[in-house]
Structure 1
Amino acid sequence: MKTKTVLITGASSGIGKAFAELFAKLGYRVILASRNEEKLKELARQLQNHYNVSTIAIPVDLAQSNGAVLLHERLNDQDIKIDVLINNAGIGSFGLLHEQDVRSELEMLQLNVQSLSHLMMLFLPDMVKRGSGRILNMGSTTSFYACPLSANYSASKAFVLSLTESVANELQGTGVTVTALCPGATGTEFFRSAKMDGQKVADPKALMNPETVAKIGYKALMSGKTYVVPGFQNWLLTQAPRLFPRRFVTKITRGVLEQKL
């Protein structure tokens, strides 16, 4: 059988790294993409040594407007066809929107929204032509409700869920599926990089393991689910806007984020 190839963005740490190890165990050729070149190459070496699989590390900054094209062109130059795309790369931010650094916020939107969508548009045509392919987009529990103090981040994740649900419908009958993985608080570098590691929501005792999140995402991806929320408590959180007034949910969400450790 032909060895399948997976492309994982944001692969150098956290959930992306967990996905890389999961697919390597399954014998996939693993393409790792991230802007952290040192970590990326070390992970590629580890996967190749531990699982005897082909790995390729591609340093690329998807927070830049040309990042998706550069990544796609690099793979085209090597005639590499992608069977599975794990659109995992993303960052967050914390604080009042009017006090945020504009450049950093725009780079976050480029990474979480534009590059994610751009990669789908670049890789989907070939998948549809072949009649097979799977895409997983990284959403969040905040895909389902507004999140003051992380306004652009939660809006970006709402975009990811809406995009995924729309395209999943469009792809029916093509042999290609797209899934949104919407985890809650997870033990990754997210809170530190978003400057939220002093908030109660980042309490290590309450965080889900990234390996567990990746396994749940993989199962949903392979079964063709449109979206999945890991963990019953996280699923309950996503139902809040259906059960209570949105203004009330938004107020509670802000209160939770304001709590410090």
Structure 2
Amino acid sequence: MTTDFTGTTALITGASSGLGAEFAIAFARRGADVVLVARREARLRELAERIEREHGVRATPIALDLAQPDAHTALRAALHDRGIRIQTLVNNAGFGVKGAFVESDAGRIAEMVQLNIASLVAITREFLPDLVADGRGALVNVASVAAYQPCPDMAVYGASKSFVLNYTEALAHETRASSLRVLALSPGATSTEFFDVVGTRDAAVGRFQTPEQVVALTMRRLDRRRPPASVVSGRANALTSTLVRFMPRSLALAVSGRVLAEPAR
């Protein structure tokens, strides 16, 4: 059964392109008003106008740098000023870098930890009580297939996504008595701007999916009366993520290191 989100508002971070933009469209298609959050205001406004024109819902763009430590309070204030309360939160904002950790830029690594972990936790904590009390929406945190094993040459990124996966599954258990749907989404290689930020497609493993495919799977899982705490997008990705759990850690590390060292095909 397809869930109708009419009468609710979904906030999506990293909404200016890729998965974030597709999530905004998916929730708008099901009747939800949407709040679009990212740094690029022009892209947000363009998407908001398109969503309002095509789906007849309210789309509110909020230009904000979520890598700032006080982003969660700034976001709450921006919503309060506009008289908006949210029922769904999609924490999609995040980025990765590829290369040996010892050679990585310390400032860039700190920014990644702040955005991928600290800001995600702070934003979730800011709004989760409201989401649980209302119960009509969902919390979706975007992790990655990188969450399932150590990732040499993407050590911090992989570890940050492992945090997101475990954190979100724990929240799903903690909130199981409520009607809020809580889901960790782990996409594999997806055709988005992620690899432009990484700087190379060599970080990609497996076949690329489209944002539409990844979001469609997520929405189908949210349609279940009792959704799983996590989902991996793509059959091959799901199989690999399951198999790695049964490998010795040393073997999983060796395989991951070899795969990430290979050029993307």
TM-score, normalized by length of structure 2? 0.92
Paired residue for 1:242, among 239, 242, 245? 245
**Post-superposition offset of 1:116:** 0.8
* Distance (whole Å) between structure 2 residues aligned to residue 66 and residue 89 of structure 1: 15
Secondary structure of the 1:93 match is coil
Pairing 1:62-211 to 2, within 5 Å after superposition: 62-197=66-201, 199=202, 201=204, 206-211=207-212
* Distance (whole Å) between structure 1 residues aligned to residue 6 and residue 183 of structure 2: 24
CA gap 1:52/1:130 in 2 versus in 1, 3 angstroms: closer
Give runs of ≥4 in structure 1 deviating > 4 Å: none
Secondary structure of the 1:153 match is helix
**Post-superposition offset of 1:241:** 2.7
Paired residue for 1:7, among 11, 14, 25? 11
* Distance (whole Å) between structure 2 residues aligned to residue 118 and residue 240 of structure 1: 33
Which residue does 1:228 correspond to in 2? 231
TM-score, normalized by length of structure 1? 0.94
CA gap 1:202/1:169 in 2 versus in 1, 3 angstroms: closer
**Structure 2 unaligned regions, length at least 5:** none
* Distance (whole Å) between structure 2 residues aligned to residue 40 and residue 241 of structure 1: 38
* Distance (whole Å) between structure 2 residues aligned to residue 133 and residue 51 of structure 1: 19
Contact 1:132–1:174 at 8 Å: present in 2 too? Answer: no
* Distance (whole Å) between structure 2 residues aligned to residue 222 and residue 134 of structure 1: 10
Which digits, 9 at most, give the CA deviation of each residue in 1:153-175, with x for residues without a partner? 00000000111111111112122
Which residue does 1:218 correspond to in 2? 219
Secondary structure of the 1:188 match is coil
Contact 1:88–1:138 at 8 Å: present in 2 too? Answer: yes
* Distance (whole Å) between structure 2 residues aligned to residue 2 and residue 92 of structure 1: 34
* Distance (whole Å) between structure 2 residues aligned to residue 50 and residue 256 of structure 1: 42
**Post-superposition offset of 1:81:** 1.3
CA gap 1:115/1:131 in 2 versus in 1, 3 angstroms: same
Overall identity of the aligned pairs, in %: 38
* Distance (whole Å) between structure 2 residues aligned to residue 87 and residue 221 of structure 1: 15
Letter in 2 for 1:48: E
- Of stretches 235-244 and 42-51 in structure 1, the one that deviates more from structure 2 is 235-244
CA gap 1:16/1:173 in 2 versus in 1, 3 angstroms: same
Contact 2:168–2:184 at 8 Å: present in 1 too? Answer: yes
Paired residue for 1:40, among 27, 37, 44? 44
Secondary structure of the 1:12 match is coil
Contact 2:37–2:44 at 8 Å: present in 1 too? Answer: yes
